[in-house]
Amino acid sequence: MKNSLYVIEYEYHHEPKSFIIRAEVMNNAEAWHWACCDAGIGIIPRSRNEKIKRISKPLAERYGLENVRWRPSGSIPFIAKPYVPPPPE
């Protein structure tokens, strides 16, 4: 099995976030779990063989995680947004 790159996008307390992960298999349950790990809710395993309890969608939603979406990396072309410097203080 080859490892593929996936983009996971989610909202944490109504703030959009995204990251890229390499995984052998990706599905909705995996995406929710890894979004929880990225948000600091879930536990990241130390090795592939370590069995950890997965965070379920209802539990993640109680912590403020919502709208988890995933897609293979490269499936949508990247369009960079123009850089706007922050206003001076």
Per-residue pLDDT of the chain (89 residues; tens, 9 = 90+): 466 889 999 999 988 998 998 888 889 988 999 999 899 888 777 777 777 778 888 888 888 899 999 988 876 776 777 888 889 87
- Rounded-to-integer distance, Cα 84 and Cα 11, Å: 23
Which residues, 6 or more positions from 19, have their beta carbon under 8 angstroms from its beta carbon? 7, 8, 34, 38
Query: Does residue 53 contact residue 62 with C-beta atoms inside 8 Å?
Result: no
* Domain range summary for the chain, segments of one domain joined by +: 4-72
Please report where in the chains the tokens 């996008």 appear, as a residue: 9
For the whole model, what pTM was predicted? 0.74
Task: Please state whether beta strands 15-23 and 65-72 pair in parallel, antiparallel, or not at all (unpaired).
Answer: unpaired
- Rounded-to-integer distance, Cα 46 and Cα 67, Å: 27
